[in-house]
Amino acid sequence: MPVTIKDVARLAGVSQSSVCRALAHPDQVRPETRERVERAARDLDYHPNRAARSLITGRTGTIGVILPDLGNPFFPDVVKSIQTRARRAEHAVLFSDTDEDPTVEAPVIAAMARQVDGLLLCSPRAADEELRALAGRKPMVVLNRRITPFPSVTADNADGMRQAAAHLHALGHRRVAYVAGPRASWSNRDRLRGLRAATATRDMTLIEIGNVTPTVDGGAAAADLVAASPATAVLAYNDLIALGLRQRFQARGIDVPGRISIVGFDDILVAALVDLTTVAIAREQIGRVGVELLLAEMSNKADKPRKTTETQLRVRASTGPPPLV
């Protein structure tokens, strides 16, 4: 026979209502009562019925995650860390993929907000005002973007680009191209700002190309423009674009890195397999910290912190000295 809340109350020596409060709102009972209830629940291996608890607390025990493209290899590590951290907090996770379409993000967020206790917005593409209009419906945390008034977790894009520019400069490159990602991407704008600053301080000429879709096809589409420019190296918004560039260069017989060097961003699994120089992002950390900020938001924590994770250049075979003139 399954253990009930009545059994927990009997063992703890308290009322059933005290058990409900101790498990659903532990801050509303005395510490000694909470400890007795929690000890009794552990001893009896009692797990509250999620549906029943939802009726009592008004909470679902679920967090929602909005992603622009689950097929992008950047996101599985983020998703896995979100699930792992949420599970430790006894929360289920509900996902939705917006297919890189900023026009559907706000309706999806509004719909999901009715089903969850809080939301993680991963690299959202919608305009700032659209997202701000949704503030207050449910606690929200933004990953890979900064927007007031939401707590956020972002990678140190500027330092990542600084490392990449310093690496290319040390190899002898003075003319570099940047293939930009989606115009609506905050990370793209942040990386471009960082790269502009990094090249300016090193007397390097930056040639800006794009915007393109953050895919292999997007990179391939930009490759001929890069090849026609005076650039001896190219930095890509992400690894998928970098892979597309390399694929097209190979098809045209353009040697990498002999004729042109390539640097990606993200360090997805395939980057190491093809020896792509890239800037690594702590994806697991971004997901874990995002959940922790959201749990704090769901507990009505007042502050709205902005967390930044480190980036690290991974030097591989796709970069080398520029060709001799």
Residue with tokens 């993200």: 266
From the CB of residue 279, how many other CB atoms can be counted at a distance below 10 Å? 28
Per-residue pLDDT band at 24 (split at 50, 70, 90): low
In a domain, 164, yes or no: yes
**Interior/surface letters 75-84, b for 16+ CB within 10 angstroms, e for the rest:** bebbbebbbe
Distance CA 161, CA 79 (A): 25
Tokens for 268?
Answer: 């997805």
Same domain, 230 and 121: no
In a domain, 105, yes or no: yes
Mean pLDDT of 316-321: 98
Q: Which helix (H) or strand (E) segment is 196 a member of?
A: helix 186-200
Per-residue pLDDT band at 308 (split at 50, 70, 90): very high
Residues of the domain holding 123? 62-153+283-309
Angle at 103 between CA 102 and CA 109, to 5 degrees: 80
pLDDT at site 18? 85
pLDDT at site 55? 45
pLDDT at site 281? 97
In a domain, 320, yes or no: no
Per-residue pLDDT band at 48 (split at 50, 70, 90): low
CATH number of the domain enclosing 50: 1.10.260.40
Higher-confidence residue: 119 or 301?
A: 119
Question: Is there a contact between 203 and 227 (Cβ–Cβ < 8 Å)?
Answer: no
pLDDT at site 49? 62
Same domain, 123 and 198: no
pLDDT at 38 over 80: yes
Kindly give, in sequence order, each residue whose CB lies less than 8 Å from that of residue 174, ignoring residues fewer than 6 positions away.
203, 204, 205, 232, 322
Mean pLDDT of 102-106: 92
Higher-confidence residue: 141 or 39?
A: 141
In a domain, 323, yes or no: no
Mean pLDDT of 20-46: 81
Per-residue pLDDT band at 300 (split at 50, 70, 90): confident
Higher-confidence residue: 26 or 212?
A: 212
Nearest Cα neighbor of 168 from 295, 315, 63, 59 is 315
Same domain, 288 and 148: yes
pLDDT at site 229? 98
Mean pLDDT of 149-161: 97
Same domain, 139 and 31: no
In a domain, 240, yes or no: yes
Nearest Cα neighbor of 236 from 122, 247, 147 is 247
Which 3 state secondary structure label does DSSP give 47? Answer: coil
pLDDT at 56 over 80: no
Same domain, 184 and 244: yes
pLDDT at site 25? 65
Same domain, 190 and 290: no
Mean pLDDT of 267-294: 97
In a domain, 111, yes or no: yes
Same domain, 210 and 169: yes
Q: Please state the domain count of the chain.
A: 3
Same domain, 147 and 288: yes
CA-CA-CA-CA torsion sign (141, 142, 144, 149): negative
In a domain, 261, yes or no: yes
Same domain, 303 and 200: no
Look at strands 233-236 and 261-266 and give their pairing.
parallel
Count of H-run helices and E-run strands, the chain? 13, 12
Same domain, 174 and 277: yes
pLDDT at 272 over 90: yes
pLDDT at 46 over 70: yes
CATH number of the domain enclosing 135: 3.40.50.2300
Q: How far is CA 71 from the centre of its chain?
A: 14
Same domain, 39 and 114: no
Same domain, 169 and 269: yes
Distance CA 278, CA 78 (A): 18
In a domain, 318, yes or no: no
Higher-confidence residue: 314 or 31?
A: 314
Nearest Cα neighbor of 237 from 254, 221, 253 is 221
pLDDT at 137 over 80: yes
- Over the stretch 76-91, which tens digit does the pLDDT of each residue have? 999 999 999 999 888 9
Angle at 147 between CA 280 and CA 87, to 5 degrees: 60
Mean pLDDT of 20-42: 80
